[in-house]
């Protein structure tokens, strides 16, 4: 009996535990709410109200401004002010048209008074943010305003640059002058001596000149015309001097390399800027003289000369002409044999270079690149020699394609030298750097710095493993040239091994793999390592791509060409997930963005149930990922605690929603200076098709998909509106291990170039 009671108690406890577990499961997985079952509503948007009195007054005001009836315009503006006062007395919101009326009235006074009217308009407290930005832009883009702004920026730039140049070496001298007084003092002296390097006509001054000319063209009889013209003439003279100086500098450099055609062009341009410049006139005369000599030499070179030297006997002349005919069309080996026979028969000494050049055809015919180079080297003289054969031999040896291996070895030697020089001399490896101060003084100030550079050799030895990729560029170019010119050359193994090592140092595993596979005895272990690293690089590159088709192409390359690598499994999973998640579009709006703009999800647009965006999770809520446009009129709503819901929006409502979304973006650009235009061709094409009623013509290509994301203001910029610092000053801490330099100093933040500064370079 007691045993039966114990069994009943156990069954009761088990039943109660089951009930508790079921209750806990039900609490953890609540049933979907009505709004989650049916997230879209069928309500329609209300019709736009008819124009009220304030809107009709605004229309009459705009008509009066266009007709230049200023009295009527002011009367209508006063009518709008009275309407707003009446609304405020009734406890209603104002019409919001008073600031627009004030803008129209400011435009009535003409361009001369617009700057003052704009300042008065900007002092209003009720100015709409978009209207404020528009007025500020109109005021600041006036020609005289732009000119004054650019000249003020130029003054600030020059003063700030001089201050920055002085304060940095001064701080280094104060903090570490005892450790390295020569280097610190050199920086200070160099800074003081380079203050004169500012151009006489900077891009900002050129833009100011353009704006002055623009204003003078619009206002030829304005009261301040004489003063503005004087400013423009002063800037124009500075620009002429700057252009002439630049042209003369280029002309002098061209004269040093004896390029007289370029000298003629640049000196002529300098004379057009400064007609009385004596240096330009002298250089132009020199260019004309040298060009005339070159023309005379060119005409002389066109004269017909005898093929055979006059010193040849008749029998030798006949053999020489036969050799010339053979060199034109006979096989290379035959030409070399005839040349050797002619030389053995006692050829004149002046023909020796030509015969030895022809004898080099024999190793060239059998593809012996090394012997061909040695044969060319036996020609008496090379590049710059008086006879044609010697010049041709020299040109062949100097050609990096025809003498590829010698240039490859020369590149290796130069690279080894550069490495050792860098380890020993650091930034003095290429000689004393050229600055803008007097060269003898610069050398005197640089010499003591060599001691510091020699003392820091151990630091560069430690840095060398990380610095190795910066060397070897010339070797790679020469080696690739040899591999392309001689794919079966005698030195291909050496070249491929060197290129494989250099590419591996640079983490360019595709090229390293190519050369590893091209070797005579490929190393299977190294090839497998290169393939694995290349696959990892491709997967990492795929993750950085925004376009789906490009990501899939990278992953497909791994699966197709590198299926045996460890990264292939990861690439396969990513590829499957990308393909399964593919859709014509992926334009997403976050939860907070939708809350910030209720018109987008209200009736007549997306028509989302208000319960999903009221912040109360008990009745269902859209997750932070928000709503995604998947193409056509299909949207996906991410729900908190439940699977996403995919549904369709009525086509007319969806087109209205797209128009509202674009209008919202334009409104943000007009109101918030932090907003920047975000071009997206695929998104814009999809929106245009939607507004035109072409939803069924969705582009299935991956390149046509947009992944644009619309975020709320606080998601992009935070809850606190950041402001620019009042003082344009930054505190800089920097150190230089090689020169034992340490400094801390303030640096003036220089003005940024104007958006169109490139037009005035």
Residues 373-383: tens digit of each pLDDT: 888 888 876 55
Q: What single string gives the DSSP state of each residue in 198-209? A: S-SS-HHHHHHH
Does the pLDDT at position 40 exceed 80?
no
Phi, psi of 630 (to 5 degrees): -100, 0
Does the pLDDT at position 667 exceed 60?
yes
Average pLDDT over residues 249-255: 92
The CB-side HSE value for 170 (13 A sphere, CA atoms) comes to 11
The helix (run of H) or strand (run of E) holding residue 509 is: helix 509-517
Least confident of 388-392, 442-446, 482-486: 442-446
Q: Which residue has the higher pLDDT, 165 or 437?
A: 165
Does the pLDDT at position 692 exceed 90?
no
Residues 59-107: tens digit of each pLDDT: 888 888 888 888 888 888 888 888 888 888 888 888 888 888 888 888 7
The confidence score (pLDDT) of residue 385 equals 57
Does the pLDDT at position 645 exceed 70?
yes
If we measure between CA atoms, which residue out of 582, 607, 679 comes closest to residue 687? Answer: 679
Q: Residue 240 corresponds to which tokens in the numbers above?
A: 């002429």
Calpha distance 342→359 (Å, rounded): 11
The confidence score (pLDDT) of residue 69 equals 87
Residue position matching structure tokens 């002011």: 74
Q: What is the model's pTM?
A: 0.65
Does the pLDDT at position 589 exceed 90?
yes
Residues 152-195: tens digit of each pLDDT: 998 888 888 878 777 766 676 666 554 455 555 555 565 555 55
Residues 503-529: tens digit of each pLDDT: 999 999 999 999 999 998 899 999 999
Q: How confident is the model at residue 26 (pLDDT cuts 50, 70, 90)?
A: very low
Average pLDDT over residues 30-53: 66
Average pLDDT over residues 120-137: 83
The confidence score (pLDDT) of residue 165 equals 73
The confidence score (pLDDT) of residue 2 equals 43
Residues 735-761: tens digit of each pLDDT: 554 445 556 667 788 888 888 888 887
Task: Give the percent of the chain with pLDDT over 90.
Answer: 26
Mean pLDDT, the chain, as a whole number?
82
The confidence score (pLDDT) of residue 267 equals 93
The helix (run of H) or strand (run of E) holding residue 280 is: helix 278-301
Does the pLDDT at position 384 exceed 90?
no
Calpha distance 361→367 (Å, rounded): 10
Does the pLDDT at position 24 exceed 50?
no
Q: Angle CA(588)–CA(594)–CA(597) in degrees, nearest 5?
A: 125
Per the DSSP assignment, residues forming a β-bridge with 746 are 731
- CA quadruple 153, 154, 157, 160: dihedral, nearest 10: -90
First CA to last CA across the chain, in angstroms? 107
Q: How confident is the model at residue 49 (pLDDT cuts 50, 70, 90)?
A: low
Q: How confident is the model at residue 132 (pLDDT cuts 50, 70, 90)?
A: confident
Does the pLDDT at position 534 exceed 90?
yes
Does the pLDDT at position 256 exceed 80?
yes
Per the DSSP assignment, residues forming a β-bridge with 745 are 732
Average pLDDT over residues 132-149: 87
Residues 356-370: tens digit of each pLDDT: 888 888 888 888 888
The confidence score (pLDDT) of residue 272 equals 92
If we measure between CA atoms, which residue out of 61, 78, 79, 82 comes closest to residue 70? Answer: 61
Does the pLDDT at position 231 exceed 60?
yes
Q: How confident is the model at residue 11 (pLDDT cuts 50, 70, 90)?
A: very low
Q: What single string gives the DSSP state of each residue in 232-283? A: HHHHHHHHHHHHHHHHHHHHHHHHHTT-HHHHHHHHHHHHHH-TT-HHHHHH
Q: Which residue has the higher pLDDT, 29 or 458?
A: 458
Query: Between the ranges 122-126, 328-332, 634-638, where is the mean pLDDT highest?
Result: 634-638
The confidence score (pLDDT) of residue 194 equals 53
Q: What single string gives the DSSP state of each residue in 64-109? A: HHHTT-HHHHHHHHHHHHHHHHHHHHTTPPP-S-HHHHHHHHHHHT
Calpha distance 308→317 (Å, rounded): 6
Greatest Cα pair distance in the chain: 146
The confidence score (pLDDT) of residue 42 equals 64
The confidence score (pLDDT) of residue 661 equals 94
Least confident of 185-199, 578-592, 655-669, 688-702: 185-199
Does the pLDDT at position 410 exceed 80?
yes
Q: Where are the domains of the chain?
A: 53-140, 240-295, 332-398, 407-522, 538-582, 584-717
Q: Which residue has the higher pLDDT, 716 or 439?
A: 716
């Amino acid at each position: 009996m007691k045993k039966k009671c114990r069994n009943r108690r156990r069954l009761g406890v088990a039943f109660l535990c089951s009930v508790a577990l079921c209750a806990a499961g039900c609490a953890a997985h609540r049933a979907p709410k009505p709004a989650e079952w049916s997230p879209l509503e069928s309500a329609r948007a209300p019709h736009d109200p008819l124009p009220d009195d304030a809107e009709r007054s605004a229309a009459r005001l705009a008509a009066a401004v266009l007709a230049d009836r200023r009295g009527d315009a002011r009367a209508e503006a006063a009518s709008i002010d009275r309407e707003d006062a009446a609304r405020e007395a009734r406890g209603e919101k104002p019409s919001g048209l008073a600031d627009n009326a004030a803008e129209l009235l400011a435009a009535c006074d003409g361009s001369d008074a617009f700057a003052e009217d704009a300042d008065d308009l900007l002092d209003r407290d009720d100015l709409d943010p978009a209207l404020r930005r528009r007025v500020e832009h109109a005021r600041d883009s006036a020609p005289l305003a732009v000119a004054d702004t650019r000249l003020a920026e130029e003054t600030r730039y020059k003063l700030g640059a001089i201050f920055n140049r002085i304060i940095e070496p001064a701080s280094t001298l104060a903090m570490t002058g005892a450790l390295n007084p020569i280097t610190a003092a050199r920086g200070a002296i160099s800074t003081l001596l380079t203050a004169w390097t500012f151009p006489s006509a900077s891009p900002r001054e050129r833009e100011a000149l353009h704006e002055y000319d623009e204003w003078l063209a619009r206002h030829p009889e304005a009261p301040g015309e004489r003063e503005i013209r004087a400013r423009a003439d002063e800037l124009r003279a500075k620009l002429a001097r700057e252009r002439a100086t630049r042209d003369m500098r280029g002309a002098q450099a061209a004269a040093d390399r004896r390029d007289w055609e370029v000298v003629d062009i640049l000196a002529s341009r300098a004379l057009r800027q400064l007609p009385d410049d004596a240096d330009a006139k002298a250089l132009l005369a020199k260019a004309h003289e040298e060009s005339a000599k070159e023309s005379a030499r060119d005409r002389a070179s066109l004269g017909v000369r005898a093929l055979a030297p006059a010193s040849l006997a008749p029998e030798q002349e006949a053999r020489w002409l036969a050799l010339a005919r053979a060199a034109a069309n006979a096989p290379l080996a035959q030409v070399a044999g005839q040349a050797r026979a002619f030389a053995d028969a006692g050829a004149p000494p002046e023909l020796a270079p030509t015969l030895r050049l022809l004898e080099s055809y024999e190793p060239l015919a059998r593809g012996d690149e090394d012997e061909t180079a040695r044969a060319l080297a036996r020609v008496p003289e090379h590049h710059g020699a008086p006879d044609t054969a010697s010049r041709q031999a020299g040109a062949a040896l100097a050609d990096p394609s025809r003498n590829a291996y010698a240039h490859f070895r020369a590149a290796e030697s130069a690279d080894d030298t550069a490495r050792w020089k860098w380890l020993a001399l650091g930034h003095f490896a290429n000689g004393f750097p050229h600055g803008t101060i007097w060269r003898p003084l610069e050398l005197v100030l640089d010499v003591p710095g060599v001691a510091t550079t020699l003392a820091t050799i151990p630091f560069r030895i430690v840095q060398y493993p990380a610095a190795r990729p910066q060397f070897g560029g010339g070797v790679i170019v020469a080696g690739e040239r040899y591999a392309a010119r001689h794919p079966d050359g005698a030195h291909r193994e050496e070249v491929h091994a060197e290129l494989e090592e250099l590419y591996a140092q640079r983490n360019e595993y595709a090229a390293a793999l190519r050369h590893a596979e091209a070797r005579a005895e490929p190393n299977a272990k190294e090839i497998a390592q290169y393939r694995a690293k290349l696959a990892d690089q491709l997967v990492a590159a795929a993750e950085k791509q925004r376009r789906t088709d490009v990501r899939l192409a990278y992953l497909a390359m791994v699966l197709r060409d590198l299926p045996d690598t460890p990264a292939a499994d990861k690439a396969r999973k990513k590829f499957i997930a990308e393909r399964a998640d593919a859709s014509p579009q992926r334009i997403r709006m976050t939860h907070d963005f939708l809350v910030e703009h209720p018109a987008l999800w209200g009736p007549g647009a997306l028509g989302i149930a208000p319960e999903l965006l009221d912040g109360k999770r008990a009745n269902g809520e859209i997750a932070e990922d928000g709503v995604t446009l998947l193409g056509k009129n299909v949207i996906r709503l991410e729900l908190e605690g439940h699977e996403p819901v995919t549904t369709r929006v009525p086509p007319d409502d969806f087109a209205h929603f797209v128009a509202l979304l674009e209008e919202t973006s334009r409104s943000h650009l007009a109101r918030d200076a932090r907003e920047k235009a975000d071009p997206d061709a695929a998104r814009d094409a999809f929106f245009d098709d939607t507004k035109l009623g072409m939803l069924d013509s969705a582009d299935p290509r991956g390149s046509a998909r947009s992944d644009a994301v619309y975020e709320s203001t606080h998601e992009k910029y935070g809850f606190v509106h950041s402001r620019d610092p009042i003082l344009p000053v930054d505190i800089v801490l920097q150190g230089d291990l090689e020169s034992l330099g340490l400094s801390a100093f303030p640096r003036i933040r220089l003005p940024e170039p104007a958006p169109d500064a490139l037009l005035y370079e």
